[in-house]
Structure formats: C-alpha cells, structure tokens
Structure 1
Amino acid sequence: MFTSREGVTLDSIAAPLRRWLLNPVLTVPAALVLSGFATATPNTDSIKFLVPVCALVLAGVLLSLNDYLDKQFANNWVSDNTWNWDEEIVVVTGGSVGIGASICDQLLARNSRTRIVVIDYAPLGWQPKQEETRLSYYQCDLSDSNALRSTCERIRSEVGHPTVLFNNAGLVRGVSIMDGSYGDIEATVRTNLIAPMLLAKEFLPEMVKRDHGHILHTGSLSCVTPPALIADYAATKAGLLALHKALQLELKNIHNAPRVRLTIGIFSFIRTALISGHTNVPNFLLPLLHVDTVGEAMVSAVYSGYGSTIYLPGFNRVASTLRGGPEWFFRILREATANFRINFRGRHEVDSQTGKILKA
C-alpha cells in the first residue's frame, strides 16, 4: 500500500493518505456522524474527535477545489468526448528506448489497435507484446529540421494526421558552458527545444481544425533548479515549459481550439541511459524515477482526456512554488545540487563542430 517502483517514498505514503484522510466523500459523512453524536450526548468522546475531523474536511475540500480549478482552467472549462483509441494516431519521439518505449508499451497494453508512430534516431529497441499491432517506425535525426519536415510529411501521407504527440526525445551532454563544444550546445537545443516546436507546428493545424488532440511534453525539474553541467539542457526544458504555457493561450484565444489538450511533466531524475550515478538525496524525498512510473503518468494523462501539469515526485511542486520565494532561500536549495553524484554524459555521440548526431 505504501510502496512503489521506487520503494517507500513520500509520494507512496502521501497518495493513499490523500485518498482516504483528505477525501471529502469520506470525511464529510464522518464529521456529520460525529457532530450528531456530540449534539445528542455532549459528554462523550466524540467531541474530542470532531475538531480534527473537521480540520481534515476543510483541508480536503480546499485541496479538491484547487484540483478542480486546476483541471478546468487547464482545459478551458470544456470536455472532449470524441476520443476513440481505435482511431487515434499517436506520435512518440524517442520511442525506441527508455521513457518513450514505456509510453508505447502502456498505450498498446490499454488498446492494441491504437496506431503508434515512433520517431527516433536510434533503432527500435523493443517489440510489441501484442499481436497485429499498428506500429510504425521512422528513423530521423530530430536535430535536423529538413529531416524532421520530410519525416512529418511521410507520416501524414503513409499513416495519417496524428492526434497525439508525445514530445519525449531528448539528449544531454553533461559539460559546462565553457568546456562544451558548439556541437554540444547546438545538438541539445535543436533536439530538446527546436524539434518539439517544429513537431507541434507540423501536427497542430489538423488538431486545431478538428478541435481535437493532445500534445505532451517530457519536462524536467531542471527547468526550476538547474544543476551545474547541464545549463543547455535545463535551458531547453525551461523553454519547453514556456512553449507549453504559450500554446495554452494561443489555442484558446487565437486558434479557437479549446479542446486541444496540453500536458507537461515536471520530472526529477529518471533511470534512463541519459544519466548514471546517484543524487545523495534521500530516496524517500527525491527518488530516481523508474521509466514505467513516468510512462504510466503520461499515458494516464492522455487517456483522461484532459491536459495537466504532472509533478513527479510531488516534491517538485514544492520546489516550483519556492521559486517565487526569497531568492536567498531558493539559492540554498539550488546549492544542494552540488552534492549530486550524477554523470550527465548520456549515450549520444555528437559532431563537436556541427552538432550532428553521429550515434544514439
């Protein structure tokens, strides 16, 4: 009950407590029953429990109200009941391994008829468990805008117009701004930020025309608390967050497509080939996330039919909130990243002059 793929963590304990102790559906009736007992028999112990139960009711109502408002504002107060996962076309960038492979696997587990298109430079590193799936693979260096444009044209021609886009592909070089090459920076920015923008540009017109679709971005806590050695990577993730927020307003106010959904995940370190090592932070507070934990959260978001911001672990929400607090306090929090023992070199080989990806 209190465990997860990452072990016993703050999230694994807080989630069930939230479902039970801070659930107004459960706490309001309990408060009413205790109130009735306290009124009928004033000298009983029920009065002792009434105050804490009422406090739980108030906290639960406020949290539920906040969740409701978050959901409605993120989705323009409109629903979309037209989702048909036999007909949806889902594009997953970086879908050959890691988070992308987990997303594909979980999509197929939910509905093996869903058409999935994987775009990646690396060869497809997995095979569907289900029979007769509709899976397509397109090899593409996403840092090359011409190759990206050509690949998108092929997808529309050969598969159809995508209705879901997982902007998941990314790379990290793990060097300081001064020590990194031109190629390191250019490959990182083109793959992690420019490619998601161009992919959105390619596939959004049909989504807007239908007022139906969902774009999901794999973000990072580094956009809030960037550690040393990944300044370029963190900058792209901050840009991805800005893209997410700007698109929310553009879709609603400029393109009149309030039902096209947008989701971004603010994730801490994930056990993928991009990093190795440990954070020197207690696993209870900031665990290294399993790829299936992230994939599950992203797929659950798209299946909900609503856009959202996903914070994993939940501490990331606190860190994001603290960003608006006193600068000195937030600096102390950021200084803690100096204790990380993480190798950010990743798996990619990049041409140091041109930024062209040589090996993924």
Structure 2
Amino acid sequence: MDAPEESVNTVQISDFWDPLYDSFDVDLIMKVLAHTLFSPFFTFFVPIFYIFHGAGLTDAVVVVPALFNLSLCAFWFLKWYSRLYRNQGSLLFGPPRLDWGDELVVITGGSSGIGELVANTLAVRHVCVVVLDVNPIITENNNITYYKCDVSKWEDVERVSKQVVEELGHPTMLINNAGVVQGKPILDLSPEDVQQTFSVNTLAHFWTLKAFLPEMIKNGKGHIVNVSSVAGMVGMARLTDYGASKAALVSLHESLRYELDHVYNARGVRTTLLITGHIMTPLFSSVRHPKSLFYKFFFPSMAPVDVAKNIIAALDEQHSRVLYMPFYAHFVPLLHIMPSYIRDLAQWLTQCDYSMKDFVKVSGRRPEEGPAPVVPTLRGKSD
C-alpha cells in the first residue's frame, strides 16, 4: 500500500517514525494469545495438569479444556490444510528449501519505502535484485541493479524488461509495490490525477506481468506479490481513485490465480496478495489519525520494516496466500455484509473519512504539481 514508485529522495522513513506506534496494541495481544490460549500445544497440557492433581476423566475441569483443545486442533488443521490444498502441498513433507542464490527479484517502486527495505534486505542475503523506479535507489549493496523505468507506461516496461533479461536473465520473483495517492474528493480530481493513480496503482501491474510472467509460466515456477490496501476493500472519503485502483488489484490477484491454475497450467507460480492498513512511509506522511489510545490500540499504524519482513517471509515459504496487516484488516471484508449502522459505526470509530482532510501529496508528484512541500512529521501531525 504505502510503497511509492515515484519517491522524493529528500524524505526519509525515519522522519516519520514515532515510538508510540511501536508499542502495546491488539496485534501484540493476538500474537501472545496465538501462542498461549489459542495454541493446541499449550492447551493440551491443561486437562493433563488437572488429571495429575486428582481430577477424574469425566470432571468438567478436564472435559471442557479437552474439548477446547480439540476444537483448536481442528481449527488450525483446517486452516493449514487449506493452505496446503491451495499450494499442492503435502501433510508430511514441506517444499524444498528456497535457494535465494538462484533468484532474480524485480521490485517496482523500490527506491524508497517498503520497496527499498525489501531490496536492501534481500541484497544482504546475496540475492540479485532489480529495482524499477523513476528515481535511483541510494544503496551500497552491489547486488542491487537499478533501472530507470516509469512502470505506468507499457513502452518503458517493455524496453526495460528486455534490458533486464539481456543483462541479468529472467526474473523469478516480481514484487508489484509501486503506488501513488492523490488524497482529493472526487470532484477535485483532475483527469491527470485519475490517470496517474490508475496507471501506477493498477495498469503497472498488468505491464509487469505481461513482461515477466511468460517465462515463469514456461518454467512452471516463480512468485508474484501484489501490494493492495484495506482502502481497496472498503470505501473512504477522499480515496475514491486510490480505493478503486487497489480494489482492482484484489480482483486481478484472484483472477490471475485461477488463470495460472486452469488456463496456463502453472500452479507452481505462486501469487501473494498483501492487504495493509496505514504504513508509516512518506506516501501517507500527512494523514491525520485520532489521538485516542483506543484508536492506537485497535488500529495501529505499521512500521515499514514489519511489512517488508512479511513480504520476504511469504517469498521464503513459497506459498500462494493473502496476507492481512495489521490484525483489524482481517475483518474489513465483513463490513460489506454488516447492517448499515454497523458499517457507519466502523467508519466513525476509525475516523477514516476524515483522515485525508488535510492531506498533502508528497510522493509521486508530477512536474506540473511542482516540488513537494515541507510536511510535518507524523510525530507532530498524527500522534
């Protein structure tokens, strides 16, 4: 979501870092519960503990925890089997360990934000990384090769893709990370605004897929990562164009998965969709969030490094899947089937219809828009 393709080099992620966002929140609680109260391994010992203290096998203190443990086992098994089914996996054997030395990873919008973090992290692992961006990436890693490319234009993508193949070989992984946001009400959007949003956020994915997917299909393996947003699953004021462009990625991801399965017979080409909330990158640096502890606890903003780690972990697991970040993102799709008053309550609690009220576009500014203005940091604006 927050991964600008056309970045502003003078803006650093550290400028927007606020320690308050790296604190106690619902995501931390759920991580702890997943390894304790909702862990089949942990809860297995609860009824055994009572048996060792003299309780009978039919006593409630033994039966209830035992049933709870069986329910957890069934839940986690079905969840895991669902992923194995999607990825033609085995219950007994995992996929072969990924040899990163054989991979060539293309990252769009990789000169700043999440893309830059992923590129540098993979380069440290001695992975060959290709960054496509209109601005050069500033890095000391020799494993990163930069190509100036406006991924919103098919001519640019076609030209650069041929250059990449000639110089480095065929990419095995593609991270469609580029993005731009205007932050305007629909009637204030100029034709150029709308064109840029859909060209960068949506059409660029089609161009990179057309350029790099054929060889993956031919080899029967590869991995495509598409970065979407919760804004693509639920409407928000001043994000009509952005939300629509990200919603298109959700449909693109699903259709691509079934085309790979049933049209191209390339089940080994993995597809990962990342649906995120607010990430602390320059793209959304001037977003205003409620200051209440309630909001910070249930709707935390994410550090870019956490998102980058999840992208790399998804590539490492070699599984097709949908990743929701943070925890509340799992429930966003349910809003469509909720009564209208529940939906409006959710909009009011998150204040999402007002967060873009004073938004200032920093990343992806077109020449006619002039240089990026000085934007207050998240510390003073959104805490």
How does the TM-score come out when normalised to structure 1?
0.87
Q: Structure 2: which amino acid aligns with 1:206?
A: E
The more displaced of 225-234 and 241-250 is 225-234
- What amino acid is the match of 2:366? V
Structure 1 residue 279 and structure 2 residue 294: aligned? no
Asked whether 1:6 is paired with 2:6, we answer no
Q: Deviations over 1:84-116 (max 9, x none)?
A: 21010000111111010111122234x22x110
Q: In 2 relative to 1, CA 170–13 (structure 1 residues): closer, same or farther, beyond 3 Å?
A: same
CA distance in 2, matches of 1:10, 1:80: 32
SS of residue paired to 2:187 = coil
1:100 aligns with 2:109: no
Please say which of residues 178-187 and 81-90 is displaced more in the overlay: 81-90
Residue 332 of structure 2 is matched in structure 1 by: 319
CA distance 1:348–1:76, change in 2 (3 Å):
same
Which residue number in structure 2 is paired with residue 209 of structure 1?
A: 218
| Counterpart in the other structure of 2:104 | 89
Q: 1:125 and 1:5, CA in 2 relative to 1: closer, same or farther beyond 3 A?
A: farther
Counterpart residue number, 1:157: 166
Amino acid of the structure 2 residue aligned with 1:279: H
Given the alignment, which residue of 143, 148, 154 partners 1:139? 148
Instruction: Report if the CA contact (8 A) 1:119-1:137 is conserved.
Output: yes
SS in 1 for 2:287: strand
Question: Which of these residues, 167, 188, 201, is aligned with residue 192 of structure 1?
Answer: 201
Q: Gaps (5+ residues) in structure 1?
A: none
Aligned with 2:271 (options 262, 267, 277): 262
User: Residues of 2 paired with 1:108 and 1:204: CA distance?
Assistant: 22
Q: What SS is found at the alignment partner of 1:278?
A: coil
The one-character-per-residue Cα deviations of 1:246-304 (angstroms, maximum 9, x if unpaired) are: 11101111111111111111100111111123321611111111110110111111111
Conserved? CA contact 1:95–1:124, under 8 Å: yes
- The match for 2:251 among 234, 239, 242 is 242
The match for 2:65 among 32, 53, 73 is 53
Counterparts in 2 of 1:135 and 1:13: CA distance versus 1, 3 Å: same
Seq. identity, %: 26
Q: Deviations over 1:29-56 (max 9, x none)?
A: 43345356555598xxxx5643552354
C-alpha distance in 1 between matches for 2:39 and 2:160: 47
**Matching residue within 76, 99, 119 for 1:64:** 76
What's the CA shift for 1:64?
0.6
**Whole-angstrom distance in 2 between the partners of 1:347 and 1:103:** 19
Q: Name which of 338, 343, 347 aligns with 2:363.
A: 347
Is 2:140 the partner of 1:127? yes
Q: Structure 1 21/169 Cα, relative in aligned 2: closer, same or farther at 3 Å?
A: same
* Count of residue correspondences: 344
CA gap of 1:144–1:40, structure 2 versus 1, over 3 A, is: closer
Aligned Cα root-mean-square deviation (Å):
2.6
Q: 1:350 to 1:268 in 2, by over 3 A?
A: same
Letter in 1 for 2:299: L
- Counterpart residue identity of residue 145, structure 2: S
Report Cα offsets for 1:55-105 as digits up to 9, x if no partner: 541442243134214412432447753732101000011111101011112
The aligned amino acid for 2:258 is L
- Supply the AA of the counterpart residue of 2:301: L
Among 21, 46, 49, the alignment partner of 2:37 is 21
Change (3 A) 1:147 1:41: closer
